[in-house]
A and B are shown apart, each in its own frame.
Chain A
Amino acid sequence: MSQHNQSSGAQIVAAFISGGLMSAGIAISQMIDPVKVINFLDVVDHWDPTLLVVMASALVTYAIGYALLKRQRKPLLDKHFHLPERTKLDKGLVFGALLFGLGWGIVGYCPGPAISALHLGAAGNWGFVVAMVVGFAIAHFKPLNG
């Protein structure tokens, strides 16, 4: 990962708009409500397939855009694309995804919706986010794969 690269003003604006669009989508689709998410994941009670529609819609939108941009040599505001370098499966990916799924299924928050809901000022949401950031920190300073 490239270090010490200063973000340009335009990159900062683009990132702000990107985060804003995603969060608006999370709020409008009601994925900001963990009960909606739990009612998808919990297949026993009150099943609500809303999450499936959100995922499908986001996937199709991104996939179409990504395909249309296939011939783009470089992004508009940087010298080159920054795409993930790892392609092989490893134990960090599998173990990490498993832990994430467990945490997600307990409360119904993945990182995006938990952050989108911060403005509500609710203790349970803030507690979740603080604990999540502690998890980020532990994993950052103790990576599983090298």
Chain B
Amino acid sequence: MTDTDPNHDPRLSTALRERLRDERPDLEHLAQSSLRAGIRGRRRRRAGAAAGAVLGVTAVAVTAGLLSGGGTTARDGTVATTPTPSATATVTATPTPGDQQSHDVGAPGDPALPFTLDLAGWTCEYFPVDDKAWCTSTRGGNLSVVVRPAEDHAAWAGQPDKGADPSTLWTSPVHGNYFVTVQGGAGADGLGPTPLQAFIDGLHLAPRWDRP
């Protein structure tokens, strides 16, 4: 490597490697959880592409109908309002009952996660594919809120490497089939000046989570 930085200090590389020498991720868990999230991401991507294609076809069909029909729309509403592609688009775009329920209780504009944060100065960016949201505060806070299956609750509430870890600030009670953890306390920006209880009070959790 040709390095053009006279201040480069290779001792830092050595020191960083020394610090992480004993850090061993659970690769099997990482592979399986990533695979599941990736599969969900693919499904969501395909669904989005299909919906986009249907809307595109609808737009083309409607435009073509208007162009070929001249003033038909004004004179005969049934011709313009019942094109076949529109019916297809309606069916495709209608949310499933699960989607609708999630949308009612989930984050604004995001139908996939079962919680919202209503706390002044805080905003969340939702990553439904990862079952989590990253929330940041204008005053320097930085946390992640992760949705987890209810069957994992005992492990998160009791194990020293999880629930008792200082980076896990709070583990919620089980809500139906899920719970959430609030994480990011150690070494990161964490809550900033926001009291933990205020953050918890700002979280609104749905009674259960029907994953789309």
Is the pairing of A and B real? no
* Interface set of B (CB-CB < 8 Å, partner A): none
* Interface set of A (CB-CB < 8 Å, partner B): none
